[in-house]
Structure 1
Amino acid sequence: MSRSDGPHRPFLPIGNPFKMMMHKASHQPSPVLITYEKNLTERFRQLKPTNTTDVISFSWMKSALSSVCETLNDIKNLIVDLELPICSWDGKWVDIYLDNSLKLLDFCSAYETDIVRQRFGYVMLKCTVLDLESGNPQKLMLASSSLHEWMQYQRRYDNSKLEDCCDIICKLKETLNLPKIKNIHKAKDLVRAMYGLKVQTMFIFSALVAAFSTTRRTLVDLQVPKEYLWCESFTELQTVMNGEINNIYVSGDVYTLKELRVLDQNVKKLYPLVHEGLGEVKQEVFDGYCCKLMESNEEFLVGLDEIKAEMDRFFKVVVDGRMALLDNFQQQPPRRGVQQVRM
């Protein structure tokens, strides 16, 4: 995308954060950067699950997306505290910045497509429960077919959008280490802060993809330099999350998302009873299975809505920031001066 395209604007009102410095020269972080990194450290700690069964759940996904939005806001506050001006950019770096921030929006769009797909699965099961509760033999046969269709729908769906999400994450990872910037301490503080944001974003995006995926995908495994104050807390979080997700795959479970596994278990209990008949299973037991399926399906919908709301919030934060930075850049700068950030 070029600068003249209008609608797509840089996602944060700052200079280019993707010119990553090499970690050779010693640089003491400023007090405001230390505060930023301490906040990021605490966010990683809060995301570390206390129960392995909750490694990926809607509650965790909601908290994870919320934490990224909080870090985005911290970045904007950091700019104000550092009083770092935006200098005239080389056009190629503007395009690179636009391309990278656009990847974040592309991820949101692709992921929300799969949220819509999961909502269709909810509708399928809701109609199935109504057929099960009717007691009509013909509708019971229809319910049997619907349960089977739901299982096939979840397992065999060729989700190209999730594949797109994986590609986006890989491309973002390639931008972590770019040539070092000028020897300006404030600029280095900003670059260091942006590195933390990118690590946080890529890791969380990777977990979000794993939540809805039914095929084993390579999880993000980032090695963070020890100089970052949040290195230890991030490494612990990444180790726990990736380890438990891999354990789920090894155990043979199809789904990593907790709520989706519960749905699948309830469907598996009901399907043989509806398909082959109750046999020795009492009617009250069968009714209990139906009730559990209905409850877990409704809880699944609530979770989907919450994730969509958080994804919409993240999308808006990115778009608003892009607009603010591009508006600032497009102003005519002084020949030898700098442009001040309009927050």
Structure 2
Amino acid sequence: MFFSCVNPFKALFPKKNNACISPHLLFLVNKFEISLTASIAELVPKDDDEDDFLTYSWMIDAMHSLCETHLGFTTVMTTDVDLPHVSDMEESLIEMYVDISSKLLDLCDAFTSELYRLNHGNMFLNIAFSNPEEFHSSHLDRWKQHMASKNPSIENCGKVLRSLAESLNHHYHSLYKKMTKKEKQYEKEKVLLRALYGVMVNTLYIFSVFAAAFTRSSKNLLHLTIPKEMEEEARWGQAFVELQNMVKPKTRNTPLSERFGVIRDLEAVESGVEKLYAAVQEGCPNLLMMMEPLKQSVKELSERYDLIYKATRCLWDTVILARDAVSERLLT
């Protein structure tokens, strides 16, 4: 009934000849782009809510979104196996995904190591809470020193992301140019290239938000320009532009704490530590009472660290599976 009047694939792929693309692949790409558009739109911060961004809740949703995106791309890339061999351009697309995704795995490792480091800081506070009678400001000093330390694996993320963005654009324009010269021969590959670009540009941008948060520097936030032909063809393009336009001013306008970055969930712990530290210095007799809200904040923060850690590891596993499945395509 839905297809009785208009063929939806003509709107999605307005080229005159789609003979080289199977209807099933066209259906999957259409489904993938609809899903990608919805995933990006759900991550766009709301104008009227300043607390919905740069929180662990947002970061967890972002990682789960990327998991779905990479799984969706894997389905698109591996479904159309009726051809007798993989074309040279399709092989290039597979190699492009494998190459860039290998560096994405390194970035996942950097993020999880930073989450582990941050959570280790909570351990210092929990040790201090375990024996309130012997509590001393030195316990808080250790926490402050640890939180102010640098994580070498996270400091290089911005440089890696910029390099990957340049590599992505170079590969895209090079392959697109070659495919355009023999358009009918490579119609299927152009569809796959568009899907691959959507996966990677979305992943790199979200990773750059993580990098900006963890390194306490908005300089690590990428601004990615979508190719003109992509803006006209890809339905997710408008949602992605909106995400970038909403995130950038929110990141710039967020005060960057000298020690703790822009992750808002840390603010309650930071504030509690400062109040408790001042009370210790002043010899306040009600330290136990002051510890309780801080203990609760530390507990909640540790739970959130654990959730985003698991979400990041889930993405790591998803990318590994996707790489294996896409690479096997070369052997069919």
TM over 0.5: yes
- TM score, norm. by length of structure 1: 0.76
CA distance in 2, matches of 1:34, 1:94: 20
CA distance in 2, matches of 1:253, 1:154: 7
CA distance in 1, matches of 2:188, 2:289: 62
Q: Give the corresponding residue for 1:269.
A: 275
Q: Where does 1:86-105 land on structure 2 (aligned, <5 Å)? A: 87=86, 89=88, 97-105=97-105
- TM score, norm. by length of structure 2: 0.79
Q: Where does 1:208-223 land on structure 2 (aligned, <5 Å)? A: 208-223=210-225
Q: Does 1:233 align with 2:225?
A: no
Task: Identify if the C-alpha distance between structure 1 residues 236 and 84 changes in structure 2 by more than 3 Å, giving closer, same or farther.
Answer: farther
- Paired residues, what number? 294
Q: Which has the higher contact order (CA 8 A, sep 6+)?
A: 1
Question: Which amino acid in the other structure matches residue 260 of structure 1?
Answer: L
Question: Which amino acid in the other structure matches residue 77 of structure 1?
Answer: T
The superposition leaves residues 69-108 of structure 1 with CA deviations (integer Å, 9 ceiling, x where unpaired) of: 1111211222356557562659988765543221011111
Offset, 1:128: 2.0
Query: Secondary structure at 1:217's aligned position in 2?
Result: helix
Question: Which amino acid in the other structure matches residue 54 of structure 1?
Answer: D
Q: Give the corresponding residue for 2:192.
A: 190
Q: Where does 1:1-343 land on structure 2 (aligned, <5 Å)? A: 30-50=26-46, 51-79=49-77, 82=80, 85=83, 87=86, 89=88, 97-131=97-131, 134=132, 136=133, 139-141=134-136, 144-155=137-148, 157-177=149-169, 178=171, 179=174, 180=176, 181-182=178-179, 183=183, 184-224=186-226, 225=228, 226-227=231-232, 228-249=234-255, 254-278=260-284, 283=286, 286-329=287-330, 331=331, 339=332
CA distance in 2, matches of 1:295, 1:84: 57
- For structure 1, the 5+ residue unaligned runs are 1-25, 332-338
Offset, 1:219: 0.8
Offset, 1:288: 4.4
Offset, 1:208: 1.5
CA distance in 2, matches of 1:314, 1:106: 12
Question: Which amino acid in the other structure matches residue 161 of structure 1?
Answer: S
Task: Identify if the C-alpha distance between structure 1 residues 27 and 149 changes in structure 2 by more than 3 Å, giving closer, same or farther.
Answer: farther
Instruction: Judge conservation of contact 1:82–1:186 (CA < 8 Å) in 2.
Output: no
Question: Which amino acid in the other structure matches residue 193 of structure 2?
Answer: V
Instruction: Tell me which protein shows more helix as a share of its residues.
Output: 2
Task: Identify if the C-alpha distance between structure 1 residues 206 and 129 changes in structure 2 by more than 3 Å, giving closer, same or farther.
Answer: same
CA distance in 2, matches of 1:230, 1:327: 28
Mean alpha-carbon deviation: is it higher for 173-182 or for 320-329?
320-329
CA distance in 2, matches of 1:170, 1:287: 48
Mean alpha-carbon deviation: is it higher for 246-255 or for 190-199?
246-255
Question: What root-mean-square deviation, in Å, do the aligned CA atoms of Structure 1 and Structure 2 show?
Answer: 2.8
Question: Which amino acid in the other structure matches residue 321 of structure 2?
Answer: D
Question: Which amino acid in the other structure matches residue 56 of structure 1?
Answer: L
Mean alpha-carbon deviation: is it higher for 97-106 or for 295-304?
97-106
Query: Secondary structure at 2:221's aligned position in 1?
Result: coil
Offset, 1:27: 5.0
CA distance in 2, matches of 1:295, 1:117: 20
